Chain A
């Protein structure tokens, strides 16, 4: 059910992260500081879909929060297009692993929230229906979040972020809590949204298959303090085959880089 848009959309914008470092005060030990990110640099072209993978606690989520503007870096700078990032903005949407839908609002009002927040609901009300159709939830307009399945709730979260037409969409393990089948279906959904709108997307995941299946490039982060370890270009045709030999070659390559290929491989 690909809804081909009449307009040629190209909403994405380039994203630059330059030499960004971030420390956090340690809650348990006063005075001690956790070094979350160490001079991480990253450059993403407009309309690109880049995945970030790395061990847990490597600062992936920290990087996304910095790009979203929810935290500010200790040093270094971040830019969307030519604009420096200093505060949260509707131009940079964020979707978490937990959909974080407002439980007191029904599906329609959740999707509308961005329009209300920006004070443009009156002019853009017609887009609400469009986005509910886009994620296939038009019949659930009046349902409250706790009646939705995990996959449906995440689709609402996507529509809620997309209704602001963000230049960059940040996805923090958005499919991490879904079962394997729903997850594969949702990967196609996200790709469909991306292909239709060409929003620049930055996807944090720890599912290697997901990263290979979806992204143009994969960024590997090191163990804390997070540093960009390697960038892998995924030059596969879309739509991709999860079981093609090229796909599997990428997979084993990345597993080896992460030292998860298995004991036999590690000793070679």
Chain B
């Protein structure tokens, strides 16, 4: 990211006569500062608007104490002003980050403002199903212990199921993709059993497993296993024949062909399977927690709904969004590292 702008500027300076070069630099600087000013002011202005809106409509909010939301918006206002001042003293990194992130942060605050106007402001949506953002934040803070505990349990369940399913999926995928015998017996099984949604196994899983946690781990693993196996298998089976030919003439034995040629060649496919599996694992996790397991974010959702505490439902949804997207981001980071060699070949 940070290298992108540098090489562009230098050749411009080098190739132009001094007077024109100076002009070019001035133009670049001017557009930079204009962009910076707009980006710089977006967040403070937006959060100030948020505060004004909140102060105007807070009397309509059934939530008795909304100070936390005020502190939240005030904090963003303060931090953004601080960052605006700090960027004059720091190197370009902070400035570039701000130029990149401030518009999207301002947009998010804008959405919060719109939400508050629609709920507390004009009362467009029925209560208690659609609480204001201030109410959601307050409930999140009040119930943080239970929310934290639920997130932790969801994380353990998800990781257990996902890793189990991914490992088994990669192994079966490699076997079915490489060995003819494994393909003959494995493919029909994969084709028949694979497409059944993992959640359809719930009635059976509850009977088989002594504890709901085990059946949940098994269901998540099953949900991950199918796409991972499918994609790994096709990646291995479609390894370019010429790579294998070259490896053979270099003296490769079967282990080299599998581990050093077929698997690296299948890696992009394997990651597609891992991403698809991650999606299905989220779904299965929430369903399993809603019906069997007595902890986790899915369980929390159902519990809050049963008590008609919709602010808590929203709070759980916000946490889920943060939780799932963080895990997704981690998988992206892993992919970027493992498939670094693809940089420049394909667009991610």
Which residues of chain A have a CB within 8 Å of any CB of chain B? Answer: 68-70, 88-90, 92-94, 96, 98, 100, 102-106, 113-114, 116-118, 144, 146-147, 160-161, 164, 170
Q: Which of A88, A89, A96 has the most CB of B within 10 A?
A: A88
Instruction: Give the contacting residue for A104; candidates B242, B256, B265, B344; CB below 8 A.
Output: B265
Task: Give A148 Cβ to nearest chain B Cβ, in Å.
Answer: 11
Question: Knowing A98-B242, A144-B341, A146-B345 touch, does A68 contact B249 (C-beta < 8 A)?
Answer: yes
A103 x B249 contact (CB < 8 A) = no
Distance between Cα atoms of A96 and B244 in the complex (Å): 13
Q: Which residues does chain A contribute within 8 Å of B242, judged by CB atoms? A: 96, 98, 100
B118 at the interface (CB under 8 A from A): no
A164 x B246 contact (CB < 8 A) = no
Binary contact readout B246-286 vs A (1 if CB under 8 angstroms, 0 otherwise): 11111111001000110011010000000000000000000
Task: Give A33 Cβ to nearest chain B Cβ, in Å.
Answer: 21
Q: Which residues does chain A contribute within 8 Å of B341, judged by CB atoms? A: 103-106, 144
B144 at the interface (CB under 8 A from A): no
Distance between Cα atoms of A90 and B248 in the complex (Å): 8
B260 x A117 contact (CB < 8 A) = yes
- Having A69-B248, A118-B251, one finds 15 other A-B pairs with CB under 8 Å, namely A70-B249, A89-B249, A89-B251, A94-B245, A96-B242, A100-B243, A103-B341, A103-B345, A104-B341, A114-B250, A117-B260, A144-B343, A161-B249, A164-B250, A170-B249
Distance between Cα atoms of A19 and B345 in the complex (Å): 45
B251 x A70 contact (CB < 8 A) = no
A113 x B249 contact (CB < 8 A) = no
Q: Which residues does chain B contribute within 8 Å of A102, judged by CB atoms? A: 243, 261, 264-265
A114 x B345 contact (CB < 8 A) = no
Q: Which residues does chain B contribute within 8 Å of A118, judged by CB atoms? A: 250-251
Task: Give A4 Cβ to nearest chain B Cβ, in Å.
Answer: 27
Binary contact readout B335-348 vs A (1 if CB under 8 angstroms, 0 otherwise): 00000011111000
Q: Which residues does chain B contribute within 8 Å of A170, judged by CB atoms? A: 249
Task: Give B37 Cβ to nearest chain A Cβ, in Å.
Answer: 39
Nearest chain-A residue to B343 (Cβ)?
A144
Question: Knowing A70-B249, A104-B341 touch, does A117 contact B256 (C-beta < 8 A)?
Answer: yes
Distance between Cα atoms of A112 and B341 in the complex (Å): 17
Q: Which residues does chain A contribute within 8 Å of B265, judged by CB atoms? A: 102, 104
Distance between Cα atoms of A89 and B248 in the complex (Å): 7
Instruction: Give the contacting residue for B250; candidates A70, A104, A117; CB below 8 A.
Output: A117
Distance between Cα atoms of A146 and B342 in the complex (Å): 9
B243 x A116 contact (CB < 8 A) = no
Supply 11 A–B pairs (Cβ within 8 Å), ascending by A.
A93-B249, A100-B246, A102-B264, A102-B265, A105-B341, A117-B252, A118-B251, A144-B341, A160-B246, A161-B250, A170-B249
Distance between Cα atoms of A112 and B251 in the complex (Å): 12
